[in-house]
Structure 1
Amino acid sequence: MNPDKNGIAEKAVAHILQHDLFSQWLGIEVLQTKEGFSKIKMVVRKEMINGLGIVHGGIAFSLADTCFALACNSRNTLSVALDTAINFIKPVHVADVLTAEATEIHNGKNTGLYQVTVTNQQQHVVALFKGTCFRTNKQLTQL
């Protein structure tokens, strides 16, 4: 990971989130971003619970997936998910504050591999996500 000397990661992330209505609905806030890395958070709301009274697994997955997307695209190279997997470790509840942190494991010419850890406000790991992205030969946005 390199520092974001020219603000490329920040500009790429801002571009994504400006157009990502679902992440806006989730209430995602960016905490940190740089090449190959992203850290975001959100607060769980009552409309996110499932029929079992706990938060729908898709919420933790979506937070992790967004974090993954931000890290993948942090170099302004249009990258899309090729394969993802998640392990749910602990249940998530209404009012939990979830933080997702994506770390780049491999940065290849055509693919990238990332691990995303999702924690709650007590720093308990609630989910582990792994994703592989495919890198196109296009820029995400004109910077």
Structure 2
Amino acid sequence: MGVHTGVPVDAPAGIAELYERDRTCRSLGIALVEVAPGRALMSMRVGEDMVNGHGMAHGGFLFLFADAAFAYACNGYGPVTVAQSAQVTFLLPAAVGDELLAEAVERTRSGRNGVYDVTVRRSDGTVVAEFRGQSVMLSGRARPPRD
């Protein structure tokens, strides 16, 4: 997997600006690979400065990575949307050099609230973590769910 440094050309309005202001993702090399309303795919390589004392990817970085995919998926509709709550289940360790993908998928939206699942995988498809986030829209009008 190559390093992706931009935003997909077909990204929803406002996503390029959101990514440009996202200094955390950009500084950690978290790339936005695909994005659409209710969906996002991001990539990240585990760096030497991302591991804990056991030599495996620190859970905080894995949570941050999944949370970023969640954020882009729920903000793809346009109005400002943030996490209301989230949880992660760590299934397998990730190591320095592992290429990871975080795929966020909307499960449901109702009014200003949404539920999203994010699967974090190694590039070989092995699932490392599962994340569920609940979102709340802060501003703008809720759009109807997509078909």
TM-score in terms of structure 2 length: 0.85
Question: Do the aligned partners of 1:98 and 1:120 also contact (CA within 8 Å) in 2?
Answer: yes
Q: Structure 1: where are the runs of 5+ without partners?
A: 1-6
Residue in structure 1 matched with residue 95 of structure 2 by the alignment: 93
- Displacement of 1:122 in angstroms is 1.4
Cα separation, 2, equivalents of 1:43 and 1:8 = 24
2:110 to 108, 121, 127: 108
Q: Structure 2: where are the runs of 5+ without partners?
A: 1-8, 142-147
- Displacement of 1:9 in angstroms is 4.4
Aligned CA RMSD, in angstroms, stands at: 1.6
Residue in structure 1 matched with residue 41 of structure 2 by the alignment: 39
Aligned residues: 133
The equivalences for 1:43-82 within 5 A come to 43-82=45-84
Question: Do the aligned partners of 1:48 and 1:59 also contact (CA within 8 Å) in 2?
Answer: yes
Identity of aligned residues (%): 34
Give CA deviations for 1:101-120 in whole Å, capped at 9, x if unaligned. 00000122110100000000
Question: Do the aligned partners of 1:89 and 1:126 also contact (CA within 8 Å) in 2?
Answer: yes
Give secondary structure in 2 for the equivalent of 1:130.
strand
TM-score in terms of structure 1 length: 0.87
- Displacement of 1:16 in angstroms is 1.5
Q: Which stretch of structure 1 is more off in the superposition, 107-116 or 125-134?
A: 107-116
Give secondary structure in 1 for the equivalent of 2:111.
coil
Question: Do the aligned partners of 1:116 and 1:128 also contact (CA within 8 Å) in 2?
Answer: yes
Residue in structure 1 matched with residue 3 of structure 2 by the alignment: none
The change in CA–CA distance for 1:44 and 1:62 in structure 2 (over 3 A counts) is same
Question: Do the aligned partners of 1:12 and 1:75 also contact (CA within 8 Å) in 2?
Answer: no
Residue in structure 1 matched with residue 6 of structure 2 by the alignment: none
Q: Runs in 1 of length 4+ with deviation above 3 angstroms?
A: 7-11
